[in-house]
Amino acid sequence: MRTLTGKAAAASALCLMLFTPAVATQASAQDSVGDKAKSMGEKTGANSVLGVTPRTEDFVKEVAIGDMFEIQSSELAQEKGDAATKSFAAQMIEAHKKTSAELKTIVTGGTVQATIPTALDSAHQKKLDKLKGLSGADFVKQYREDQVSAHKDADSAFQRYAKGGENAALKDWAAKTEPTIASHLEMAKTLDKTK
């Protein structure tokens, strides 16, 4: 058996120090009964990095808030954006209204034990407030960056839930919907590169 020395040992120790608290924090957050907030792993992005499947409650919350942010920020883009941004925003409004309706149907069908939030969380509200204060090229730049970031997060959540989600109906829906989210991510990346 080979022992680690020098840089390899330091790298291994660093990995253990970084990931052990995230996993332990996630486990303790998931163990708390009645916890309505997103688990620590979802909040920090550790679940995404580690490929951990989100809890059903976290997935529902993330999708619902993501849809609300997409719709509200894209409605702003309809007012403040350039032609390419307005065209993209119109597609996002339509698509995210559709996923919101589908999620609501699944959750209210009684097989999913989760509550759909009715307002943005503080992080998304701050992003929306920032967009409201911008105009012209500054608005377009921030909106486009936000779209890439939001769709990366959504695509990760959909992929992870489709792979290992605990609710069959929601898992099937995530698998069917993920290719559309991936397509939106590519559209957002292309839009972000245009001037």
Over the stretch 53-72, which tens digit does the pLDDT of each residue have? 999 999 999 999 999 999 99
Measured distance CA(11)–CA(99) in Å, rounded = 42
Exposure of 157 in the CB half-sphere (CA atoms within 13 A): 27
34: left (phi over 0), alpha (psi -120 to 50) or beta: left
- For residue 46, what pLDDT is reported? 57
Chain segment 103-122, per-residue pLDDT in tens: 999 999 988 989 999 999 99
- For residue 194, what pLDDT is reported? 86
Measured distance CA(100)–CA(7) in Å, rounded = 48
Q: Residue 163: name the closest of 52, 57, 39, 27 by CA.
A: 52
Measured distance CA(165)–CA(154) in Å, rounded = 15
Measured distance CA(138)–CA(134) in Å, rounded = 6
Write 31-35 long-range contacts (CB < 8 A, 24+).
none
pLDDT interval class at 44 (50, 70, 90):
low
pTM: 0.76
Provide the mean pLDDT of the chain: 83
Measured distance CA(59)–CA(170) in Å, rounded = 9
- For residue 45, what pLDDT is reported? 57
- For residue 1, what pLDDT is reported? 44
Fold of 54-193: Ferritin (1.20.1260)
- Confidence check: pLDDT of 187 > 50: yes
pLDDT interval class at 37 (50, 70, 90):
very low
Measured distance CA(43)–CA(22) in Å, rounded = 11
Which stretches does DSSP call E strand in the chain?
Answer: none
- Confidence check: pLDDT of 41 > 60: no
The CA radius of gyration of the chain, in Å to the nearest whole number, is 19
- For residue 40, what pLDDT is reported? 54
Q: How far is CA 123 from CA 14, 29, 88, 127, in A?
A: 29, 19, 23, 7
Let me know: does 93 contact 86? Beta carbons within 8 Å. Answer: no
Residue 105 tokens read as 């149907």
Residue 117 tokens read as 């939030």
